[in-house]
Structure 1
């Protein structure tokens, strides 16, 4: 009964548009007061939830992505993607997807992708005569690749909460991320043929080479990050520091597009974003501890196993639960609450934590493309000037290929686990 009250308070506060971190903290505080426990417990658990070395990767990856945006590096990435795939039908749509793959190796967040590349992509597509619906839809959908291809902020949070290897989670996201890109490119091609969108440019190998040379150093960022982690040269947290240092070197000494004022602005933005995320992680860890202390995870596992012990059916139920939660809750908070509940039942039916992490994150990314939360849609509505409702409608067709990839990854775990087993488990 107390747990029902806990959730009632949480969703009531969310309905009143109270920030998710405060809603989680207030609902947890109410439980602590009702159960006659010391209020200081809330502070101890909140601080304990944030006191994790791997979480240090978050501010550095955010800082690196911010430097890439501010330093004009995203424009070089977009130009290279344009030269590489712009010759296809609906060329700029494919460029959109390709640029998201590359930028994913730097930012690790869907909202950063949408905010950083989104404005550049939508403006270019408008100038080329593409409809706003198509431009916004493909930009929103391609931004979800960011949290799947490493480095990924949500995967860092999942790894901490599930005590799973962040390195394995990172390499596990490479193939799924590329599959998402191929599926979205297929959708772009089909829609472009139906609507008669032109090829953006002829394939010119000289232009490809020139744009590749201009973008070579930024393209090395994901290679350094992923290669360093996969080879064991450094941990994900150390990789985040290296990414920030690399972005600083490029912006200050190579391209000379950064100055003290811009670095200070990126630093302030990084501090604000990190503070908000860490507060969510801290309060969500208290909420998760309450669920665990009241055997909510065990009860959920027992209920699931009482319904069925079929692994595929349980995976389908998990997908539905995560999808519903993702519609109403911010990604980091959803991960922090769902992981303690899902891990026991996953362990009992033999679901690999790395496999679970990828499908949970991809599932939650769909929540960023759907109301009422839809953070990516809000960002794109702001940068494009397209009304939010129109952004929602425009994105719906692109959910189809993403859902297809999610189902394939869910029921064929070998796709996700191939690289982790090859690099870490042999």
Structure 2
């Protein structure tokens, strides 16, 4: 999930500051916004620290002291749901929830403000519809007791209504600070008219049967996503609308499915690996790896392009977050590549392609999500993901070799073996981290969730003692950023789980399974259709929501057709990665543009040769299952 977000400042928070008079309504709204920021950012950052401490203490007590703490998982789960909801609120205030803005960005300034208003009203509508059911859900959880902690489960479930109310308040503040009263009134009237109209059409909708799936989950979701409504709220609103208008299912069920989808403890790896990625950049560990590769390959024609491919592979093995990977590698390499005459568009294209190349490299957040929703072993997925990344790296390297020969790229003097050896010694602690992480999981020292805490402690110790680049002032912003990014990702998983449950209850799952199983060509045709489908899904939904929605539907079919579930995982993740970084819709491509400070159009005509090589590599992985499962223990 991959998680490809370019964060924005809170919209409207600083607008017209010099013109706002003390005591005016706008000034009061600014104060409310700041209070909401403090109320969400401070506890969410502290929750990240608490989760690291709780899980690390669990590892130490079990593996070192041989006295397991039975309450660790329950406490971690309780803190986790609060982290998700408060982090989602932080992301909403910053305007950094995942959304598809390719079409919105092409609109003029007057239309851009209209789309922003639509997005806010859509979010507000969904929040208003689920606020009461969320409170009801938390109230019912008072009857459940957490056995190890011996407290009511309402302490955990209360995070849902509290988080929803906080985001609801933020959406109201945003409406009042970013639009005129007339525009706000018009938007609310239109929204109310749409809701009333759908309610009036309820008898007709109930007669349509499964045709409602197309209306709500294709038509409504597509309209909202392409209008720039954040994906989480698009999924949530469509699901609530479908269940409320076409079934007798109470809305509280949606809240319960959201809670279930977000509460898998394995997903706690998402914020912890995101924070680890930020520490890697902060301690200069990524820069050390890049410098070693540059000394080793810089004298080869097109050598820094090979370095970019290798560095993205290594950094992906640490952080798991593509935006963090690109942000760590690009600033260290691009200035030198420009000095050697590299084209801005070519560098952007290769950066985006390497993002897609490394989607399976552990600890990929998409792999963690697959393990969560399909019950496939995370350790097997981590082991299987290494070689497919190498295959795609070889494909990209072939394109670089061909391009460097025809373009006549400049070479730098060969670094001395002494310089190579010195940079290897400097980079060794950073290069060792991916192997430490994998060994800890395989040897049973820590689970896939806990192992990230070992990486965090390792990065802090190495940063303080060896690289001495640990800037304590950057810790707090990194914690808040971690909470915001994690909340944005995990809220999507929650609402997508509700949508997936609705699809299953409608009978769509069984119909899809029957249709896919009857494809002519058997397993090969199923994999081919899956590749095309997930390329398209990756370009619109990104990897994590696509997996949550369709993983439970398609993985059982793959098993029925005799396809190894780990092999199928690698194929669909690679396919989604290609869609994610393919213009014009791929969100990852625009994240690469922002990080490289290059216009999207500059790389669009360069990236296709790299995407073609990635497609060829994906077909090779699909055709040769051993690449994915050859190193698994049987």
**In which range does the TM-score fall when normalised by the shorter chain?**
over 0.9
CA contact (8 A) 1:328 1:372 kept: no
Could you tell me which residue of structure 1 aligns to residue 429 of structure 2?
217
Which of the residues 596, 600, 614 maps onto 1:388? Answer: 600
Could you tell me which residue of structure 1 aligns to residue 304 of structure 2?
92
Q: Does 1:266 align with 2:478?
A: yes
Could you tell me which residue of structure 2 aligns to residue 245 of structure 1?
457
Q: Does 1:177 align with 2:386?
A: no
Matches within 5 A, 1:339-378: 339-378=551-590
- The TM-score with structure 1 as length reference comes to 0.95
Could you tell me which residue of structure 1 aligns to residue 32 of structure 2?
none
Q: Does 1:24 align with 2:205?
A: no
Distance 1:301 1:68, change over 3 A: same
Q: Does 1:6 align with 2:245?
A: no
Whole-angstrom distance in 1 between the partners of 2:588 and 2:604: 10
Could you tell me which residue of structure 1 aligns to residue 249 of structure 2?
37
Whole-angstrom distance in 2 between the partners of 1:340 and 1:239: 26
Which of 280-289 and 322-331 deviates more? 322-331
Whole-angstrom distance in 2 between the partners of 1:200 and 1:55: 44
Whole-angstrom distance in 2 between the partners of 1:48 and 1:153: 18
CA contact (8 A) 2:534 2:579 kept: no
Could you tell me which residue of structure 2 aligns to residue 255 of structure 1?
467
Calculate the aligned-residue CA RMSD, in Å.
1.5
Whole-angstrom distance in 2 between the partners of 1:301 and 1:154: 23
Whole-angstrom distance in 2 between the partners of 1:382 and 1:167: 33
Shift of 1:295: 2.1
Shift of 1:309: 5.4
- The TM-score with structure 2 as length reference comes to 0.65
SS state at 1:112 partner: helix
CA contact (8 A) 1:100 1:142 kept: yes
Whole-angstrom distance in 2 between the partners of 1:306 and 1:56: 38
Which of the residues 495, 516, 532 maps onto 1:320? Answer: 532
Whole-angstrom distance in 1 between the partners of 2:460 and 2:215: 48
Whole-angstrom distance in 2 between the partners of 1:233 and 1:210: 32
Which of the residues 438, 444, 447 maps onto 1:235? Answer: 447
Which of the residues 334, 356, 362 maps onto 1:122? Answer: 334
Alpha-carbon deviations, 1:256-306, whole Å to 9, x = none?
Answer: 222332111111110110000110111111111111112222111211223
Alpha-carbon deviations, 1:230-267, whole Å to 9, x = none?
Answer: 23332211211111111122223332222332111111
Alpha-carbon deviations, 1:336-370, whole Å to 9, x = none?
Answer: 11202212321210111111111111111111221
Shift of 1:97: 0.8
CA contact (8 A) 2:540 2:585 kept: yes
Which of the residues 526, 537, 550 maps onto 1:338? Answer: 550
CA contact (8 A) 2:538 2:586 kept: no
Whole-angstrom distance in 2 between the partners of 1:192 and 1:338: 40
Could you tell me which residue of structure 1 aligns to residue 48 of structure 2?
none
Matches within 5 A, 1:153-164: 153-164=365-376
Please list every run of 5 or more consecutive structure 2 residues that lacks an aligned counterpart in the other structure.
1-210
SS state at 1:253 partner: helix
Could you tell me which residue of structure 2 aligns to residue 302 of structure 1?
514
CA contact (8 A) 2:536 2:576 kept: no
Which of 203-212 and 147-156 deviates more? 203-212
Could you tell me which residue of structure 2 aligns to residue 105 of structure 1?
317
Alpha-carbon deviations, 1:54-112, whole Å to 9, x = none?
Answer: 11111111101011112222211110110122222101111111111211111112222
Could you tell me which residue of structure 1 aligns to residue 614 of structure 2?
402
User: Could you say which structure has the greater relative contact order, defined with CA pairs below 8 angstroms and 6 or more residues apart?
Assistant: 1
Shift of 1:181: 1.4
Whole-angstrom distance in 1 between the partners of 2:240 and 2:461: 45
Q: Does 1:187 align with 2:412?
A: no
Which of 195-204 and 276-285 deviates more? 195-204
Whole-angstrom distance in 1 between the partners of 2:346 and 2:336: 13
CA contact (8 A) 2:582 2:611 kept: no
Whole-angstrom distance in 1 between the partners of 2:357 and 2:583: 19
Alpha-carbon deviations, 1:188-243, whole Å to 9, x = none?
Answer: 11100100012234153212111101111111110101122223332211211111
Which of 111-120 and 182-191 deviates more? 111-120
Whole-angstrom distance in 1 between the partners of 2:333 and 2:492: 31
Q: Does 1:206 align with 2:418?
A: yes
Which of 374-383 and 221-230 deviates more? 374-383
Matches within 5 A, 1:405-420: 405-420=617-632
Q: Does 1:75 align with 2:298?
A: no
CA contact (8 A) 1:103 1:146 kept: no
Alpha-carbon deviations, 1:158-194, whole Å to 9, x = none?
Answer: 1111111111000001111111111111111110010
Could you tell me which residue of structure 2 aligns to residue 58 of structure 1?
270
Which of the residues 133, 142, 151 maps onto 2:354? Answer: 142
Whole-angstrom distance in 2 between the partners of 1:89 and 1:189: 8
SS state at 1:129 partner: coil
